[in-house]
Amino acid sequence: MSPGAPPGGPGRGKLAYAALLAGIGAVGIAVHAWFALGADALDSDRALILLMARRFAQGDLSVFLWEQNYMLALEPLLLTPLAAVGWATPVAAGLVGVTLTAALAALSVGLARRLGGAPWMALLVWAVAPALVVHHHVALYGARLAATLLAVAAFAWSLRARSRDTWIAVGVLVGVSFFADHLMLLWAAAVVFVAARRGALRPLAAGALPVVALDVLVSSLMPAVHLSGPNDPGHWLWNVARLFGVALPQLFGFLLSRGPTPTFEALTPLVPQGLLWPALALPGAAALAALAVTLLRHRRGIFGAAAPHGGTAAQALLLACAVGLGLFAFVGGGGDIWSVRYLVPLWPAISVLAAMAVQRWSGRLRPLAAVAVLPAAFTLLADGAWPRAGDGAAARAEAALAGEAVRAAGAKAVYTDYWDTYRLELLTGSAVPWLTLTIIERHPEAARGALQASPVAYLLRPGHTGALDALADAPASGARILEERDVGRFRLVVTDRPLPGVAKPGTPGSRAWQVAAAVGAGLLFLGMLLGVGLLGGRTARGRP
């Protein structure tokens, strides 16, 4: 019997181990469902996925919606059948997110087993993740769940691929995941590395490059007001500081997070308070450090030629992590204060690497690795920035109150803060266009039409002092205030016409910038293919 085998004989040991996996899985489903059931307390980003799905169900099947670049928009496509029968609700979307997350966890457990890791540890990392990570696992926005699932499936498939046709199919899957979200470059790099080691780079490229070319073509031709490129790439030193000072600590549960709320509202403290936090964080940090040290100490057995798959798969996982961190440092996590979501696609690699490290521990010490998730468990209880079961009822009541106030005012258009605009549009089911004051206007045609609307409503949080001050001076602009009152936590101001300068959404990029960004994404993939292919080819030397 091996040192880590459970007592009581092989049969009883297998049964106990199966019960352990089932228990961890049940905990994971419960934790994620807890967050999914609070989906009605959503934000505008999450609401957009459902609004897009409803448009798709009505026959608008464009890849780009509302002149906004969403690449292949897989999550709205997944929800379209539900939207066609009227079931595309926030809670339903959250449960779809739980299903996608469960599939990713199953893939990670399978990879851990294939690479000689401890499957229970990979599953535990998924089951008890920090609140921020769990939120993105159920939100269908930010974590790129569908794209990540395709990309990780392509990676797992590449480890078994043998024929040319199979490698072409893997390449197509890699291309589709990249088309779905360009951040999947990190997983594409892992697959390319495996293909180069196996001498299958050409068939892989034959499958992937046509899809990438299609992505470039569509991105160049379709109208899009927000095709993102690097956010101040010259400030990469600041990006690196944010990566190691904020994003990675949040990713592992050592800092709290701040949910998507208007920037003018008071920031939620990121540093946890109380005595319980250090009691959990210190042993958690020690366990994570021990796992990292194990990977270094046993690097030859884990990443060397004697490891499963000749170390190729484990090295590919490290490469995926390196590319993911490098992309974060280059683009600054999209330039927003919730940038850790750009690291969530690394969760499969993190779980598998943790499982491989634990397997190197002696049987008696392996259970201690579970201590690594204590910081995450703390955030699940203490990080109130993300909605969970019980928060949805208040959100629905607030939306109903706001919708009734707008209807009573007879407004032909409503202006609100970005983080309220599309969630209120979704929850109220209003036919009146809801338009944003800042960030990105997803209804450009409706916004242009609203310039002639009368009357119009402004539904603002008290902290939106700039817009409220401008509305107070409405008579100086030749406009009349028809109504003004409090609606829950909002201030409702109804005017006979839109006030110029109050709504200031982001400025659309030029057509030239759109084409340059689209072509740049394709060239980035091609450069990765050549660079990683060269790296894998030079280090092959008989690897299986």
Which residues make beta-bridge pairs with 493? 458, 484
Residue 345 near residue 108 (C-beta atoms within 8 A): no
Cβ atoms 544, 312 nearer than 8 A: yes
> Band of the pLDDT at 69, cuts 50, 70, 90?
low
The pair of structure tokens assigned to 486 is 């409090």
Residue range 194-233, pLDDT digits in tens:
999 999 999 999 999 999 999 998 888 776 655 444 455 5
Tell me, letter by letter, the H, E, C secondary structure of 93-124. Answer: HHHHHHHHHHHHHHHHHHHHHHCCCCHHHHHH
Which residue from 81, 65, 54 is spatially nearest to 427, judged by alpha carbons?
54
Other beta carbons within 10 angstroms of residue 391's beta carbon come to 18
Look at residue 416 and give its three-state secondary structure. Answer: strand
Q: pLDDT category, 542, cuts 50, 70, 90? A: very low
Please tell me the predicted confidence (pLDDT) of residue 118: 96
CB-based contacts of 33: which residues, under 8 Å, 6+ apart? 95, 98, 389
Other Cβ atoms within 10 Å of 144 Cβ, number:
26
| One-letter amino acid of 225 | V
Query: What count of residues does the chain have?
Result: 544
**pTM for the structure as a whole:** 0.92
Q: 203-240 as b/e, with b when 16 or more CB fall inside 10 Å?
A: bbbebbbebbebbbebbbebebbbbeebeeeeebeebb
List of residues 6+ apart from 413 with CB closer than 8 A:
432, 433, 434, 435, 446, 449, 450, 453, 456, 457, 498
Contacts of 133 (CB under 8 A, 6+ apart): 251, 344, 347, 376
Q: Which tokens hold the place of 544?
A: 């299986």
Which letter does DSSP use for residue 494 in this model?
A: E
Q: Which residue has the tokens 């920090």?
A: 130
Report the pLDDT value the prediction gives residue 334, as an integer from 0 to 100: 55
8 pLDDT band (50/70/90 cuts)?
A: very low
Pairwise CA distance, residues 30 & 127, whole Å = 9
Give the tens place of pLDDT for each residue, 369-427: 999 999 999 999 988 888 899 899 999 999 999 999 999 999 999 999 988 999 999 99
